[in-house]
Amino acid sequence: MPNAGGYFTTFPQTAMNQVICPDLDTLTAQALMLIQKRVFAAIDQQGRATLVLAGGSTPRRLYEHIATQSWPWHQIHLFWGDERFVPPDHPDSNYRMVRETWLDRVTFPAGNIHPMPTVPLTPEAAAAAYEQELQAFFALKPGEFPVFDVILLGMGEDGHTASLFPQTAALQVCDRAVTVGHKGNEPRLTLTIPTLNFGRCVIFMVAGANKAHAYRQVTAAQPAGEQYPAALIRPQGGDLWWLVESTVLQH
Ligand code: 6PG
């Protein structure tokens, strides 16, 4: 992949690609290039692309940049990696964040947008509903997991990713694609570890010196496992990219 300002290393032992970027703008540009390449390849090969979106703040600028592109929106389907358990118009909603930064700025087919349901369902019922939506969309047989073309993820300073938080029950769920995660007592919906690990291309976007400790733990030769859940994301057949702002490595 061309490195417009980032430099590229591969960790062969973990099939992990690392791109170190001097700033968030460069990281965003790298992410845009990589996503475009993989989305367009998926469309060429199968007539559509499935893209899982990350929440939080790091990808905001990326979504704003994607909104300026002339991509074939009708051939792209959007899903969410996790969602806070709030109404879709709530300030904390990851769905609302994507609407504001991207979807309200382009003509995106409503049927191609697959947000995670939240209230008034219970968290358990919402997880089950999203599971059924994925089963229908991917025409899954019992026991099969969805295979997404691109999965975007962030990482918190505690090493969580999506809403898979350290030492929580969600980390043990391996028979479903979607489950209820917990940030303390706050319920969230999240894709499960096996679902993330079936991704064809999993891309972490990590910025901020406060992520440095977790990043060291996650990328260590002996990853830290459940204390830092992002370490559990090792795509089996797909490739793994860590797009990292240089401040993450300087502390
Ligand atoms: C969320 C995200 C979460 C996020 C990390 C990093 O719902 O908040 O899915 O996993 O990616 O917490 O967040 P920042 O990008 O804001 O640092």
Please give the pLDDT value at position 248.
Answer: 95
Q: Give pTM, 2 decimals.
A: 0.95
Give the span between the Cα atoms of 21 and 140, in whole angstroms: 38
196 burial level (CB within 10 Å; 0-12, 13-18, 19+): buried
- Predicted confidence band of residue 221 (pLDDT cuts 50, 70, 90): confident
Say yes or no to pLDDT of 4 above 60.
no
Q: State phi, psi for 62 to the nearest 5 degrees.
A: -60, -45
Q: Which residues contact 84 (CB under 8 A, 6 or more apart)?
A: 55, 90, 92, 93, 94, 118, 163, 186, 188
Testing ligand 1's pocket by substitution, the residue of 52, 57, 178 carrying the most ligand atoms inside 8 A of its CB is: 57
Q: What does the domain layout of the chain look like in residue ranges?
A: 16-187+194-224+240-249
Q: Return the ∠ at Cα 99 (arms to 94 and 101), rounded to 5°.
A: 95
Rounded percentage of the chain residues whose pLDDT exceeds 90: 89
Please give the pLDDT value at position 236.
Answer: 86
> Which range has the worst mean pLDDT, 9-23, 25-39, 129-143, 157-171?
9-23
- Predicted confidence band of residue 5 (pLDDT cuts 50, 70, 90): low
Nearest CA, atom 11, ligand 1: 154
Q: How many CB atoms are closer than 10 A to CB 3? A: 13
Per the document, the length of the chain is 251
Say yes or no to pLDDT of 251 above 90.
no
Ligand 1 proximity of 56 Cβ (cutoff 6 Å) = yes
* Over residues 52-67, mean pLDDT: 98
* Over residues 150-155, mean pLDDT: 98
pLDDT in tens, 199-211: 999 999 999 999 9
More confident residue, 10 or 60: 60
The enclosing H or E element of 44 equals: helix 24-46
Task: Report CA(75)–ligand 1 centroid distance (Å).
Answer: 27
Nearest CA, atom 8, ligand 1: 56
Coil, helix or strand at residue 179: strand
> Which of 164, 148, 155 has the alpha carbon at shortest distance from 239?
148
Rounded percentage of the chain residues whose pLDDT exceeds 70: 94
Place of tokens 């769920």: 173
- Phi/psi region, residue 15 (left: phi>0; alpha: psi -120 to 50; beta: rest), is left
Testing ligand 1's pocket by substitution, the residue of 24, 52, 58, 83 carrying the most ligand atoms inside 8 A of its CB is: 58
C-beta of residue 95 within 8 angstroms of C-beta of residue 79: no
Say yes or no to pLDDT of 144 above 60.
yes
Task: Report CA(139)–ligand 1 centroid distance (Å).
Answer: 29
58 burial level (CB within 10 Å; 0-12, 13-18, 19+): buried
More confident residue, 50 or 225: 50
Ligand 1 proximity of 55 Cβ (cutoff 6 Å) = yes
Task: Report CA(163)–ligand 1 centroid distance (Å).
Answer: 8
The enclosing H or E element of 129 equals: helix 123-137
Say yes or no to pLDDT of 12 above 50.
no
Q: State phi, psi for 204 to the nearest 5 degrees.
A: -90, 135
Testing ligand 1's pocket by substitution, the residue of 52, 62, 82, 116 carrying the most ligand atoms inside 8 A of its CB is: 82
Give the span between the Cα atoms of 77 and 83, in whole angstroms: 17
Q: State phi, psi for 100 to the nearest 5 degrees.
A: -65, -40
Give the span between the Cα atoms of 154 and 81, in whole angstroms: 10
Q: State phi, psi for 27 to the nearest 5 degrees.
A: -60, -40
- Predicted confidence band of residue 13 (pLDDT cuts 50, 70, 90): very low
Task: Report CA(45)–ligand 1 centroid distance (Å).
Answer: 31
* Over residues 59-65, mean pLDDT: 98
pLDDT in tens, 24-42: 999 999 999 999 999 999 9
Say yes or no to pLDDT of 78 above 50.
yes
Q: Looking at the structure, give the CATH architecture of the domain made up of residues 16-187+194-224+240-249.
A: 3-Layer(aba) Sandwich (3.40)
Please give the pLDDT value at position 2.
Answer: 39
